[in-house]
Structure 1
Amino acid sequence: MSTILPVAERGESILTLTAAEVAKTELNSPWLKELAEAMHATMLARNGVGIAAPQVYVSKRVIIVASRPNPRYPDAPEMDVLVMVNLEILEKSELTVWGEEGCLSVPDERGQVARAESIKLRYCTLEGTAVETTLSGFPARIVQHEVDHLDGVLFIDRI
């Protein structure tokens, strides 16, 4: 049973910081794997579709994207869980789309946010393998929302 972590809420300074990169020596480490497991368990317990390490009081560039239908996002598409370390968005489509977003750190608030429809990104796995991929639609929206967390931005700052 993984640990459920406390979640930082709007107004807490951790959510305004630019998160630090995960060092090469931290890749494939027990603590990084335990952090990812606890982040995933916390996200599931709160019906989230994504979570960033700063939301659980760890200012590191780690996010999890795991879209699936749940009470907060009944129409979310099903996708495999992606743990992304030190990710960078390499390209964003010119086409932007509006969509409703919520946030585990801003409970009970939702709003319309414009995001790029598709993104090309590069990240490392927990083990340190480099991956380049393109995401579109809802998964791309989740990644952009979580990257904002790594840069100290909340979705309500974009409304």
Structure 2
Amino acid sequence: MHLTDAVVAAQIDDVLTRADAHDGVAPIVSAGDPILRTPVLPFSGQVDDATLTRLAEVMARTMRAAPGVGLAGPQVGVGLSIFVAEDPAAVRSEIATVREREPLPLRTVLNAEYTPATGEHVAFFEGCLSIPGYQAVVARPRTIELRGAALDGTPIAEEVTGWSARIVAHETDHLGGILFLDKAEMRSLSTHASVARLWNEPSTQRAAAELGFTLPSGPLL
């Protein structure tokens, strides 16, 4: 897929039109669509501020309706460097503690990039709205350095840690045409039902032992 500023502007117009016909919620693109494998264009004024704000609003509404905790431009068919994220962290306290999962207020990030802040990685099950029904364990940096811009153009340069770092990394990967399964431990691939029934625990130690894969710091983390 060849992206140009004109193509991206047309994609945004299409998404907004379709969302207007469905209570402000856009269709989510599923794996197999080339847009999910095409690196996006940076935002450089392809649309005006009002249109960009409407896109962010539609993406947030779509994310919440799914429901999910993050959504990137390609997931609504837009090859633009934008993602939204929001996590109420509505999980059991013991899970929140182990996974360092704290509430993440709604945010929109343009032109996001990240780098690991340390060499420490943590591995947990994660899923994707574009790959419904499945989860797999992904090792990601525990802490990342996020760079980009807020919706109003304010520069972002901050350290993000814990589960919020996982969300940000996952959504930023989408902007480069990367899906979480590209980085997953494939022996851990499970349906949502299997994760809920077998692996709904704070850590992935038992899943690693019983499914036969290695966690970042060794077989049992």
Q: TM-score, normalised by structure 2?
A: 0.66
CA distance in structure 1 between the partners assigned to 2:173 and 2:86 by the alignment? 17
SS across alignment from 2:138: strand
Specify the alignment match of 2:172 in structure 1: 147
CA distance in structure 1 between the partners assigned to 2:123 and 2:136 by the alignment? 10
Q: Amino acid of the residue matched to residue 129 of structure 1?
A: T
Q: Which has the higher Rg, Structure 1 or Structure 2?
A: 2
Q: Which range moves more in the overlay, 134-143 or 118-127?
A: 118-127
Q: Specify whether residues 78 and 28 from structure 1 end up closer, same or farther in structure 2 by C-alpha distance, changes over 3 A only.
A: farther
CA contact (8 A) 1:97 1:117 kept: yes
CA distance in structure 2 between the partners assigned to 1:136 and 1:27 by the alignment? 32
- Shift of residue 77, structure 1, vs aligned partner: 2.8
Of Structure 1 and Structure 2, the greater helix share is in 2
CA distance in structure 2 between the partners assigned to 1:65 and 1:93 by the alignment? 23
CA contact (8 A) 1:84 1:124 kept: yes
CA contact (8 A) 1:27 1:127 kept: no
The RMSD of aligned alpha carbons is 2.0
- Shift of residue 90, structure 1, vs aligned partner: 4.3
Query: What is the aligned length?
Result: 156
Specify the alignment match of 1:103 in structure 2: 128
Is 1:52 matched up with 2:77? no
Stretches of structure 2 that go unaligned for 5 or more consecutive residues are 1-19, 185-221
- Shift of residue 81, structure 1, vs aligned partner: 0.9
CA contact (8 A) 1:28 1:128 kept: no
Q: Amino acid of the residue matched to residue 125 of structure 1?
A: A
SS across alignment from 2:71: strand
Match of 1:37 among 57, 60, 68: 57
CA contact (8 A) 2:116 2:141 kept: no
Deviations 1:80-114 (A, max 9, x none): 11110001214432100001111000000001000
Q: Amino acid of the residue matched to residue 152 of structure 1?
A: G
- Shift of residue 126, structure 1, vs aligned partner: 1.0
1:112-151 pair list within 5 angstroms? 112-151=137-176
Give the structure, 1 or 2, with the largest relative contact order (CA under 8 Å, sep 6 or more). 1
Q: Specify whether residues 91 and 69 from structure 1 end up closer, same or farther in structure 2 by C-alpha distance, changes over 3 A only.
A: closer
1:58-73 pair list within 5 angstroms? 58-69=78-89
Q: TM-score, normalised by structure 1?
A: 0.91
Match of 1:93 among 118, 126, 129: 118
CA distance in structure 2 between the partners assigned to 1:117 and 1:93 by the alignment? 8
